[in-house]
Amino acid sequence: MNIPNHIAIILDGNGRWAKKKNLPRAMGHKAGCEALEKTVENCARLGVKYLTVYGFSTENWKRSKEEVSALMQLFRFYMKRLLKIASENNVRVKMIGDKSKFDKDIIEGVDKLVETTKNNTGLTFVFAINYGARDEITRAVRDLLNDYKSGKVSDIENVDESFFEKYLDTYPDPDPDLLIRTSGELRISNYLLWQIAYSEIYVTDVLWPDFDMAELENAITAYNKRERRFGGR
């Protein structure tokens, strides 16, 4: 079976999973974190080179204060868990998004996680927090304009796709080959809009906390049945 080089996942359905079980939404997020741990390990075991997951979007701040607070506590706990998992599986961790809005201890935890695992040579696990693709592209344009005004970019005619993508959060990682969305929703939700231009998309009705190796293999099997076409070829 051909294993995708880079898999991106929209983790959706934690709240619905909790509701189905008459549990608080926070328990759904906790179960979702546990599913993520297993997915990181499963992807590393299968030989996936890059895994990028949508952990917390720029829009998630609009949720209730209680839910956001619970999510922040989960971040604090699972950053420590992720460090252990990364060490055991030779995983390098990277973060994309604007982390400046988080509390100081969370920022320090993110920095420690990235720094401690930077020399690991296995799976690169990219965690998108306070991330939105429109925000990412807007920040990239702003940085490019600032470089142009300061003289770092002298010829605007040379700004093509390969030049512009250097300003994106994900550079220099490759674009996803496969995008997985759980819970059956048929939308992109402001996720990696530039990077998934030619990604294969797999949508499953499985809610994220129930996502396991079998469903990951289903997604990869579906990917293998696709005839990948670029630019109409």
Crossing angle for the helix pair 104-117 and 65-89, to the nearest 10 degrees = 20
Structure tokens at 111: 């920095």
Residue 12 catalytic? yes
Is there a contact between 94 and 126 (Cβ–Cβ < 8 Å)?
Answer: yes
90 conformational bin, left if phi > 0, alpha if psi -120 to 50, beta if neither: left
Is there a contact between 195 and 23 (Cβ–Cβ < 8 Å)?
Answer: no
The catalytically annotated residue of 2, 5, 12, 160 is 12
Structure tokens at 180: 């997985």
DSSP 176: P
CA distance 23 to 113: 31
The catalytically annotated residue of 2, 14, 42, 60 is 60
CA distance 126 to 128: 6
**Catalytic residue list:** 12, 60
